[in-house]
Each structure stands twice: as C-alpha cells, then as structure tokens.
Structure 1
C-alpha cells in the first residue's frame, strides 16, 4: 500500500481515528464513571446515570489520526498542524464548559479565539474581512452543533452525516488533502456512535459537540467548500434560529426539560422555547423516533451537499 497517495492516506487516517476511538472508549467510560463525571439521562423515565465528557475519546482518536496524516503527507503539514491546534483548543473549551458551565458570551468569545490560527493557512489573496470571518465561523458552527443535542446519538449521528457528506464532496472534487481532516473526524465519530447510540453508555459533552462544528468550519474554509458546509449545517441552523426567535439568548440551566412519561414517550413542555426537536414533538414520540427523524433531515441536506459537489467539480466554493 502506497501511503504517499492522498486518497489512500485520507482513508487510512479515518481508519486510524476509528480504531483508536473505538478501543479507548470502554476504558474512558469506566474511568469517567469512577471519577463521578456522569450526567442523568433525562429523556429516560428512570433517569439513569451515564458517563459524561466522552468526547475526549473523539478528540484523542482525531488527534492521533491527524498526527499520522502529518507524517504521511508532510507537504500539508502546516494546514494539518493548525487544524489540530484549533480542534484541541476547542476541545479544551468544551471540557471547561462541561466542568464549570461557561456563559453563552464567554463560550462565543473563547471559541472565536480558538479559531484564530486558521487565518494563517487560508488560501492566498483573500481580504481581511474574509480572514476575520473564519474564527467567527468556527465559533458559530461549534455552538450550532452544541445546541442541537441531548438525545441519545443525535449530535454524533448528525456529525457522522455531515462529515460523510463533506468527505464524499471532497473526494468528488479531488480535494484529498482536506479529506484527511474530514475522514479523521468521521472515523472518530462513527466509533463513538457505537457507545452513544440509544441506549447511550456515554454522552459526548461539550468537548465532543463543539469539535464537530469546529471541524466543519475548518473544512469549509481550508477546502473551499463553504456552500456545502453551510448546507449540511442547515438542521442545526434551523434549530438555532427557532431557539433564538422563541427565547433569545438563553442559558441552558433556564431551559424547561422535555416531559418523559412512564411509558417512555416524550412530550414538549408547554410555554417553553421552540426548537427543531420540539417542532417534531407535536405529539408524544419515543426518543429513538425523534432521533431518526432528525437524522433523516440531516441525510436530506447531506445528499444535497453531495449533489452540489458533483455538479460543481473543479469550482471553488
């Protein structure tokens, strides 16, 4: 196998991310529970305890894969190294938020700072406004993937769908260098989904959800696939707009939780904020049903992204 070929290198990095994340998760889950880093699964009637901050496993698998990518593809060393720095900074912010709960304003500012290094690896001959938009995009995208969350597998599954669309789009458009990033995050997310799907053994925490959005923003700007990245994030964008329109900027601790009945059916509380999930919960549903509907919406927009890539081969977006 010739690892100097970019298509093979990209896929190999994805495989490395999958294997590392898959193998590290059982030990990580045990250690998190032992350290009492747990949360209640509020969408189950019995409210079982589940390990929190499992996104550390995603972060670890992604980091190892990117380091392998740097070794196998030294000509793209600066882009991959900067990407790793931004994702690690975003993950650290997520850990801090998981532990002490940052305010929305604090999180936005810190994520903007975390995105600043990407400005150094942008395509040449771009304006100052374009460069300043990059850390803003990292901050906004990270928050969007963090907001549409809470049900078993929903955020991880949407991440898998979005990164699958971006990866295939990069392959179609012969952007195998940036596909190293998308393959690496995709491999880690697929592995994590085995443990996060219903009934979840672990939650990603903000350390997991924030890095999904950050990676999408990085791929959008470095790979020049901004339109496709925007499209795959449309479910998250709709969710964010619904929440902002109905409740403005609202801290998580002020949210009214979804009502869980004895038979496990979920029901949206009256007089609370609106969201994509609660727009679906017009009638009582099982948690798995809601998650599958959200995933289906994600698949729809993911396929649109792939079609756009197919019909725009050779063009920068």
Structure 2
C-alpha cells in the first residue's frame, strides 16, 4: 500500500509538471487556431471581457492525466478503464467544442447526438464493469456499511450515473477555475476512498487527476488564460464517474460531488419553475451565475464554491469510512 501511496503522490506531481509545461505551448497554439470562447448575451456583463479566450484547454488535463497514470500505474486495468472513459467523454466534448469554435456552429453537437454518444459510451462501460471486471451489481450505501444488489438494474443505474456526472461537471464549468478547483477536491476524496477499499492502483489515477486539475488552475484561475471547454469538463466527469463505479461509491459521489449536484439541481428547478409558472427561482442558472448577478465578484463566488467542495470532500470520506 505504501508504494501505491507514493506512486499516487508522484503521479500528482507529474501531472502538475506536465500541465504547467503544456500551458505555454497549448495556449498560443489555441490562439492561433482562433478557438476563442463565445459569451452568452444574457450572461453577466463581466463575462464579455472573456470573449476570445482560448477554449479546448481540457486537452492539457487529459494529456497530463494519461501520462502520469501510464508512468506510475503501469499496466493496471482499472486505471486503464478510467483513462479510457475519460478519453471517450473527452472526445465527445472535443467534437462539440470543435464544431462550435472551429466550424463556427454555435450550438455544437445537437442535443440528441451528444446524449446518444454519452449513453452509448456509458452503456459499454457498464458492460465492461460487469462482464470483464466482475465488479458485481452491488452498490455501497454511505454511513451504513451495507450494500444493495441492484442485479441487472445496475446497468441502467450506472449509465445514469456516468452521463449525469459528465453533464453536471459541464454545468459547473462556468467561472474561472470553478470546475477545475471543485474537481481537485473530488479527486482527492476519491483517492482516499480508493485506498480505503484497496483499489490502490486506481488511487494513482486519482492522484494524476488531482494534479492535472491543480496544474491547469495555474492558467485557468481568474483572469483565465484558457478555458477547459467541453473537452475538459466532459473528460473530468467521465473520469470521476469511472472511479466511483470501480470503487462502488456511486452513491457517495452524490456527497463528494455535492457542488456538481447543487449546480445541476439549480438548472432543473429553474427550468421546471419557468415552464410551470413563468417565474424564475434564481436570477440565472447554474447557481454560480445567480450569485454573480447579485453582485458577488467572480473570485468570491469561486472561493465560496471551493470551500463548499472541501466540506463535501470531508463529508464524503466520512460517509464512506468503514463501508469498504
């Protein structure tokens, strides 16, 4: 175990270094490609200054995680499975970004196309878990130490978890450093759970994921020099969901990724309220925009959500203590 813990820390260090090295290379390259971020007209006025900031920076995160994982986790099949799901969802995000910022089709992939690809990838991953990894179909219940066997209901369940997690991270990615900072804390929590449940090689992947998020923050913190785009947010969502599935901590992910959940619920509630009453609950959704429109500086909103994510990280680890 001690060896894997050392490898996890080294993986984090490698991912940080790779991200920091790649930033000055990728950012000018993305600028030359003119893959600048477009800003929603109905969004906070302060965001207009962000127009043209290069996006698709998630390539930095994906590359850093892959290199660090392969160097430190070696031939671990679990780490490879997590990398593959991250890469698959990152590819969907990359395609969406490419259509929007390179081909100049503002809507990117059609909703049904994006969702169809996500469902297919998640379904294949679920089959891989059950048939190849012999993971079984039980999920662990936080705070109880008990497991519930879903049987073949596990397959639609894990498809829902993977797809909803990827899209929740995507919704969270709306302010400089928000999604990368929150995902850093989520990755740390999952790394601890991997150690608690004996998935030591997977903790190396989580270390790489945390390091990549931290390294990316060097360029993504306010004022951001690059955005991760759907390329990065989808990849992070796939990576987080993969680890949760492999460690049977899918339910605990609701707690660990509490910020993701809050951001997603704010959008759902806003849509339901407007469709049924023509009134909005929040000034704008996702929730981070609500606080911006209330007059909070962007940096304050991000720090607030980082702090909340830190609390959820501790609560999630506590909820899983002794469960594995």
1:306 corresponds to: 317
Higher mean C-alpha displacement, 54-63 vs 3-12:
3-12
Structure 2 unaligned regions, length at least 5: 40-44, 100-107, 138-150, 275-279
Aligned to 2:95: 96
After TM superposition, the structure 1 stretch with the greater mean CA deviation from structure 2, 133-142 or 99-108, is 99-108
Between 187-196 and 173-182, report the one with greater CA deviation.
Answer: 173-182
SS of corresponding position for 1:58 = helix
Structure 2 matches for 1:148-297, cutoff 5 A? 148-247=172-271, 273-281=284-292, 283-297=294-308
Q: Is the 8 A contact 1:63 1:84 kept in 2?
A: yes
TM-score (norm 1): 0.82
The counterpart of 1:13, out of the listed 11, 14, 31, is: 11
The aligned counterpart of 1:58 is: 61
Cα distance in 1, alignment partners of residues 166 and 293 from structure 2: 28
TM-score, with length taken from structure 2: 0.80
Q: Which structure ranks higher in relative contact order (CA pairs < 8 Å, sequence separation ≥ 6)?
A: 2
Deviation at 1:173, TM superposition (A): 4.5
Compared CA separation, residues 308 and 274, structure 1 to 2 (3 A): same
Q: Is residue 138 of structure 2 the alignment partner of residue 139 of structure 1?
A: no
Is the 1:145–1:236 Cα contact (8 Å) retained in structure 2? yes
Structure 1: tracts of 5 or more residues without a match: 251-268
Alpha-carbon distance change, 130 to 185 in structure 1, aligned in 2, over 3 angstroms: same
Q: Is the 8 A contact 1:69 1:80 kept in 2?
A: no
Alignment of 1:45-124 (within 5 A): 46-47=49-50, 49-71=52-74, 74=75, 77-100=76-99, 101-115=108-122, 116-122=124-130, 123-124=134-135
Instruction: Supply the RMSD in Å over aligned alpha carbons.
Output: 2.7
Secondary structure of the corresponding residue to residue 39 of structure 1:
coil
1:140-198 CA-to-partner distances (Å, cap 9, x unmatched) read 10000001222111111111121122223333444322212211111111100110001
Distance 2:157 2:68 in 1: 27
Change (3 A) 1:213 1:20: same
Structure 2 CA distance, aligned partners of 1:47 and 1:301?
Answer: 30
Aligned residue pairs, count: 289
Give the 3 Å change call, closer, same or farther, for CA 180–273 of structure 1 in structure 2.
same
Aligned counterparts of 1:4 and 1:282: Cα–Cα separation in 2: 48
* Aligned 8 A contact 1:55 1:205 in 2: yes
| Distance (whole Å) between structure 2 residues aligned to residue 271 and residue 288 of structure 1 | 20
Tell me the secondary structure at the aligned position of residue 37 of structure 2.
Answer: strand
